[in-house]
Amino acid sequence: MKEKKKKEKELPKGKGVQVKIRINLRSILLGIFLLLFILPAILSFIDLKGGESKVELSQALSDLKAEKIKKVTIQEDKLLLDYKDGGLKYTTKEPTDSFISLLEKVSLDPTKVNYTIADNSLIKAFGSVLGTVLPIALMIGAFYFIFKLQSRGAQDIFSFGRSKAKLFAKGKQDTTFKDVAGVDDAKKELEEVVDFLKNPAKYRKIGARTPKGVLLFGPSGVGKTLLARAVAGEANVPFFSMAGSEFMEMLVGIGASITGDTLVLIKDGNGTRLIPISEFVDQYYKKGAVDRVVKINGVETLGFEKKRTGFWGTKSKNSDKSVFETSAWKGVSGVYRHKVNKIYEIYYLGGILKTTGDHSVFVRNSGYIYPKRVDELKKGDLLVELPLNMRHWDYLKKKTVHEIKAHLFSKTEKKQYLDFWGEDKKLREKYDYVIAHKGQVSQYALAKEIGVSQATVGNWQRGKYDPQSLSKKLVKMNLPDKVLVSKELLKVLGFYTAEGRSNHGLHFVFGAHETDLHKECIDLVKKVFGVEPGKTYKTEDNAFRITYHSAHLGRFFERYCGTGSHNKRIPEFLWDLPRDYFLSFLEGYSQGDGYQTKTGKLVASSVSKQLISELAWLCSLHGIKVGIKHEVIPGGRVIRNKPLPSCEVWSLIIGRTTNPFLKEKVEYPYRFKRAIVNKVVEKSYKGYVYDLCGVENEAFFGGEKPVLFHNSRVRDLFSQAKASAPSIIFIDEIDAIGRQRGRGLIGGHDEREQTLNQILVEMDGFTPNDNVLVMAATNRGDLLDPALLRPGRFDRRVTLDMPDKEGRLAILTIHAKGKKFAKGIAWQKIADRTVGFSGADLENVLNEAAIQAARNGKDAIDMLDLEESATKVKLGPAKKKIQTEEDRNITAYHEAGHALVSHVLPKTDPVQRISIVARGMSLGHTEISPNGDRTHETKTRLIQAITSMLGGRAAEQIVFNELTAGASNDIKVATKYAKAMVVDFGMSPLGPVNLGSNSEMGDFGNLEWYEGPQISPAMQEKVDNEVSKIIEFAYKEAARIIKGNRKTLDAIVKKLLEKETLDKDEFEKIVGKK
């Protein structure tokens, strides 16, 4: 190739420019105004662009966790990041967030992060002055320009939008069968399918059942997706497309979409807590992000276990029916939020649920539960709510009995202890940080960074005092280091939650008449903590106060139960304790803030909605039926001459039949109200709804009291297709979700299997009138579940093969449209040398040729571009690798050996190209393509192919009298061929006996059964001997050809070293026509 010299354009010589400055008062004022206006922006630009590029805060925190950052410098809300690889970047944080709090949010130990605080006190003072002066100057300037300049309308220069991921590629398709080449047999089979969609009545008229599904099977790149689009285009019907993996990523496990205020129980690294679902899900989304599942790890929620039963309706894998056994913790694999414009409010006996209508909740019927769409709920339907009262026939008692289904708690056999002191790690880190930076950073900057007063920092650094919560030397009481988790502890925690507070100590406030509670509370605190109250007294408002003068004791109670009436909560560890521990807490709380009615109901009230909700959930988990009453008490009431403000109150109500503290015997202990649906109301709604995704058994509990929601999966896709019928649903790479169930180590409740079950259910639910065709594509038919392939599902199976020569010509013709080609393109030659190329490969060949031609400055694609691009697609791009002369010689003789032996042997295919240019992992290559497409291989052709493979090794040994590692792949492939001849093809003196493994293959290569090789050591030795004989014969034959044609070999090598690459014509000029 001729080298083209690049011409460099000379820059034009600059002309002299004369600048005249006219100075007047107006110019000076205008200049000062502009300077004041742009100075902050310039300073900000210099500050932000000082050689650093910006990264998102989340990325910066991730890099900190990955230990990629050497040092962090804190400048107010800006963080300068000094990376270990030498790069400088920056990010910004919210003004209200301290750097330490950011580290704590991502579980990073601040002591292990190298960071400093830049002292910008002087700059801040200057900025404060500038911030006062600048607005005044700008106002004066603005008024000046209002009067002196003509205002101009502003133009919008930005338009903001949101990119929304498309779940379905729907709409009419422009692709037809004319756009698909190389798969003529498949097109003929699919013409009948097109007619089904166009004229369904014709087939129904004579009683024919039109197919529900068509499975396209073939190697990658042969045009399966394009062919499916062409079917839709020919039939002129909507086309809904989704990859199998997208079912897992986008639709798997998307639950009943519920409003953000719906409570869910979450367990993760931060503990167990009952929170609104929006509070949990929103943390995984950036502002405004919607419509995508965010994968999460290490999170569990409350789901349920199915009961193994002989009930016929629950045996089928495809059945939605199941029998409820118990609630249980289940993993959550993702979260999802999206926006809707309407929701449904479900009013049931016990509360209200808010969810979308196209998703489901569980309902119960005749001993089993099943999901039902919200917009299909009817008055009288029974929701699945904890506790669940199930009736069943007892064969021993010979009568119907009641069984309460709730949560199965583990029994606590090992003693558990709580750390009493609970040293505040965050405060300790702040204190250590202040001491470490004494004299290095101003007290003002330190105080602002860690969120304390400057005086506090000064006192710490002078050693005047330590933080009180860190100093045990101030404690006058003999308090324990750890506290046993006992029923006594739980009851006194219940007393505190109802009547206690923490304010520089521990205080209990009971009614003066509750003398029994006074004594019990004092006795319990002494038994658990070993301390006596510092003071007990009766107040003017007829209350009795018990005070312990210990801030540490108060902080212990506050740490587990909060403080203040509106902020009380249950201790977190109570979620995992058995029933008797919970009852101790509930008894303490209800004795303090509750009462028992004459009818036996237990009522406990609080201004903390969170506390009542947590108690309601825990009661439900322990099999205690509860109700919640919400009241708004108006202000103005006067008690003891004190007017009371208005307030909201939530009351926990436990009925007589489930009251655990009722002393008298209950005649019907299982008689409590069920969650009966009263009405379902559709309402307009603008906002987010939320899902927990990928929960096992497709269910999770949520609501003010635990109600079971369902995970719907692929119904949206099928419902949209039905609404647009006649239509086509296309599932690409169906093997991602359609693999055989029950194989492997994943288990029967793997979310992939559940998604497959849902698809099968939907396909079985199609009727002839639906006129929806499901098409799917795979290149791994051997992995598909047999249930997909039975009649009534994927009735038609179409196999696509690699295109033959005529097919390749047709494909090249289609993809050549729109490209410029030079005259004399030998398309037949391109088709001949692209044996084994798929349609996608051929498209890539033409695209690479166009890129190369443009890069080389050509106006059209020529034959050289096509030859090079075909080689590049097959073997990879050429490497400009500098080789020694010795390496070039060895590579040249090696490749020439392959080519010469292949040319001489009569049954081998012709050599198309030889090259010593490195590509991929090889230093050179010899391209040998068949004359035409063929199916069978003969023994003679196989032996000669092995001989050709060993031609490179023979040439090396004969010419250099040395062996190299370059023939390793040749030896590997030759041995594979030889072994197949002996073991599989029966082409040896051992006869036509299968000496390999035995297996039975089903549809599309499905492996029905497999048995490993069953041959004796003696027979294995014979097999090895026969393989060696074939290899030895082939190598001797290759060596004979090399020795007999040494001059020809040298001539090939000489030309090859000169040009590096020889095509078929250049090669045959040396060796002659084959």
d(CA 241, CA 505): 65
Q: Do the Cβ atoms of 572 and 271 come closer than 8 Å?
A: yes
- pLDDT at position 967: 86
The enclosing H or E element of 78 equals strand 78-83
Residue 762: φ, ψ to 5°: -65, -40
- Of 172 and 738, the one with more pLDDT: 738
d(CA 245, CA 736): 6
Residue 651: φ, ψ to 5°: -120, 135
Q: pLDDT class for 717, splitting at 50, 70, 90?
A: low
| Least confident residue range of 117-121, 198-202, 574-578, 622-626 | 117-121
- Of 976 and 44, the one with more pLDDT: 976
Tokens 């046993």 found at: 484
* Pure H helices in 149-223: 184-198, 200-205
Query: Environment class of residue 13 by beta-carbon count within 10 Å: exposed (0-12), middle (13-18) or buried (19+)?
Result: exposed
pLDDT digits (tens, 9 = 90+) for 299-351: 999 999 887 665 544 444 445 678 888 899 998 888 888 888 899 999 999 89
pLDDT digits (tens, 9 = 90+) for 600-659: 899 999 999 999 999 999 999 999 999 999 988 887 666 656 677 778 899 999 988 888
* Cα 133 to Cα 37, 41, 47, 126, 139, distances in angstroms: 11, 16, 21, 11, 10
Cα-Cα-Cα-Cα dihedral sign, residues 489, 494, 497, 502: negative
Q: Is 895 a catalytic residue?
A: yes
Highest mean pLDDT among 4-8, 377-381, 548-552: 377-381
Q: How many Å is the Cα radius of gyration of the chain?
A: 40
Query: Quick check: 1002 pLDDT over 70?
Result: no
For 945-982, give one letter per residue: b (16+ CB within 10 A) or e. bbbbbbbbbbbbbbbeeeeeebbeebeeebbebbbebb
Highest mean pLDDT among 8-12, 23-27, 496-500, 739-743: 496-500
- pLDDT at position 254: 47
Q: pLDDT class for 875, splitting at 50, 70, 90?
A: confident
pLDDT digits (tens, 9 = 90+) for 477-515: 677 878 899 999 999 999 999 999 988 889 999 988 888
Give the mean pLDDT of the chain.
79
- pLDDT at position 158: 27
CATH superfamily of the domain spanning 478-652: Homing endonucleases (3.10.28.10)
- pLDDT at position 745: 40
The enclosing H or E element of 92 equals strand 88-92
Q: pLDDT class for 264, splitting at 50, 70, 90?
A: very high
Q: What is the DSSP letter of 739?
A: B
d(CA 843, CA 224): 15
Q: Which of 657, 638, 634 is nearest to 646 (CA)?
A: 634
- Of 209 and 1039, the one with more pLDDT: 1039
- How many C-alpha atoms does 790 have within 13 Å on its Cβ side? 6
Q: Which of 568, 586, 521 is nearest to 548 (CA)?
A: 521
Q: Please give the structure tokens belonging to residue 138.
A: 């700008």
- pLDDT at position 897: 93
- pLDDT at position 610: 93
| Least confident residue range of 148-162, 336-350, 707-721, 892-906 | 148-162
Alpha-carbon 236 to chain mean position: 36
Q: Which of 485, 510, 473 is nearest to 495 (CA)?
A: 510
Torsion of CA 1040, 1043, 1044, 1046, to 10 degrees: 150
Q: Give the residue-averaged pLDDT of 395-416.
A: 79
Query: Quick check: 747 pLDDT over 50?
Result: no
Domain 172-248+725-738+748-797 class, CATH top level: alpha beta
pLDDT digits (tens, 9 = 90+) for 63-114: 888 788 888 888 877 888 888 887 888 888 776 677 777 787 777 777 778 8
Q: pLDDT class for 33, splitting at 50, 70, 90?
A: low
Q: pLDDT class for 10, splitting at 50, 70, 90?
A: very low
d(CA 273, CA 255): 20
Sorted by where each begins, the domain ranges of the chain are 52-141, 172-248+725-738+748-797, 256-309+319-384+679-710, 420-470, 478-652, 802-874, 877-1001+1011-1073
| CATH number for the domain formed by residue range(s) 52-141 | 3.30.720.210
| Least confident residue range of 27-31, 431-435, 1063-1067 | 27-31
Q: Please give the structure tokens belonging to residue 790.
A: 């039975």
In the chain, how many H helices and how many E strands?
31, 41
Q: Do the Cβ atoms of 739 and 282 come closer than 8 Å?
A: no
d(CA 258, CA 346): 11
Q: Give the residue-averaged pLDDT of 462-490.
A: 70
For 50-67, give one letter per residue: b (16+ CB within 10 A) or e. eebeebeeeebbebbeee
From 614, 696, 895, 956, active-site residue: 895
The enclosing H or E element of 40 equals helix 25-48
Crossing angle, helix 1017-1044 and helix 939-949, to 10 degrees? 70
- pLDDT at position 121: 55
Please state, for a pLDDT cut of 90, what percent of the chain lies above it: 23
Please state, for a pLDDT cut of 70, what percent of the chain lies above it: 77
Query: Quick check: 150 pLDDT over 50?
Result: no
Torsion of CA 407, 411, 414, 418, to 10 degrees: 40
d(CA 321, CA 616): 28
Q: pLDDT class for 166, splitting at 50, 70, 90?
A: very low
Q: Do the Cβ atoms of 621 and 706 come closer than 8 Å?
A: yes
Q: Residue 634 in 3-state DSSP? A: coil
| CATH label, 256-309+319-384+679-710, candidates 3.90.79.10, 3.40.50.970, 2.170.16.10, 1.10.3660.10 | 2.170.16.10
- pLDDT at position 134: 62
- pLDDT at position 475: 52
- pLDDT at position 1030: 93
- pLDDT at position 477: 62
Query: Quick check: 949 pLDDT over 90?
Result: yes
Query: Quick check: 1003 pLDDT over 60?
Result: no
Is the CATH number 1.20.58.760 carried by domain 877-1001+1011-1073?
yes
Q: pLDDT class for 381, splitting at 50, 70, 90?
A: very high
Query: Quick check: 277 pLDDT over 90?
Result: yes
- pLDDT at position 363: 92
Is the CATH number 1.10.10.60 carried by domain 802-874?
no
Q: Do the Cβ atoms of 1034 and 946 come closer than 8 Å?
A: yes
Length of the chain: 1074
Q: Do the Cβ atoms of 255 and 833 come closer than 8 Å?
A: no
d(CA 627, CA 637): 27
- pLDDT at position 1010: 54
**Same topology between domain 52-141 and domain 478-652:** no
Q: Give the residue-averaged pLDDT of 1034-1054.
A: 93
* Cα 791 to Cα 203, 209, 770, 795, distances in angstroms: 17, 11, 17, 5
- pLDDT at position 20: 40
